[in-house]
Structure 1
Amino acid sequence: MEKQKVRFEFVTFTGERQEVEGMTGDTVMQVAYDNGVEGVAAECGGSMSCGTCHVFLDEASFDRIDAPSEGEVDMLDIVASERRPTSRLSCQIKLEENFTGAKVMIPEMQY
């Protein structure tokens, strides 16, 4: 299957917005890194062992993607910022076409 472009937006805790584009199969964490998005530390490089790529999704986008794995849910228990119902680890969100238009909010702190 040919990769498709996926456009979505990062929103910092201060409200600054940055529209980005990735390809299907990329992770939200990779797109943040490739676009110089600040606030997604991702210290473990995407191995789901640190929780420093914690983000909040808008509710509609959260409902459109696969549910987090049990391992991701466990890791979300140790994130630095308050966990919300739409919390995810950006390293575990693989872009699919249905992620287009998503809003990915970055918490105030990752440590």
Structure 2
Amino acid sequence: MSKITYVQPDGSLETCDVSPGKSLMLAAQSKGISGILGECGGQAMCATCHVYVDESFLDKLPAPSEEEDAMLEEAASDRRPNSRLSCQIDASDELDGLVVHVPAEQLW
């Protein structure tokens, strides 16, 4: 299990245990964490699960696919160098302690 912390726009924290291989989007939805919509069901087609990944973990993640990269350009909140779609990040032992920040907006 990996402990993943979701930081809400107001600064509140929600930490949950995520099984290896489960996406951060599905974990957030199953735990009722607000701000992670995932309207496309995790297919990297909507950008409503956009998060800002703690920069100390960026080198532990695979590079975004072309599809993810294109969708990040469509995100409602500003794209940053640490922007990722949470549906494309699967929990692993290497990501234990990961912190992601939920943007203020997910929809246009």
Tell me the TM-score normalized by structure 1: 0.94
Counterpart residue type for residue 105 of structure 1: H
SS in 2 for 1:21: strand
Counterpart residue type for residue 77 of structure 2: S
Give the alignment partner of residue 105 of structure 1, picking from 88, 93, 101. 101
Does 2:58 match 1:62?
yes
Partner of 1:31: 27
Identity of aligned residues (%): 39
Counterpart residue type for residue 49 of structure 1: M
Conserved in 2, the CA contact under 8 Å of 1:65 and 1:98? Answer: no
Give the count of matched residue pairs.
107
Q: 1-side partners of 2:3 and 2:45: how far apart?
A: 27
Tell me the TM-score normalized by structure 2: 0.96
Deviates more, 1:81-90 or 1:59-68: 59-68
Tell me the C-alpha RMSD between the 2 structures: 0.7
Conserved in 2, the CA contact under 8 Å of 1:28 and 1:95? Answer: yes
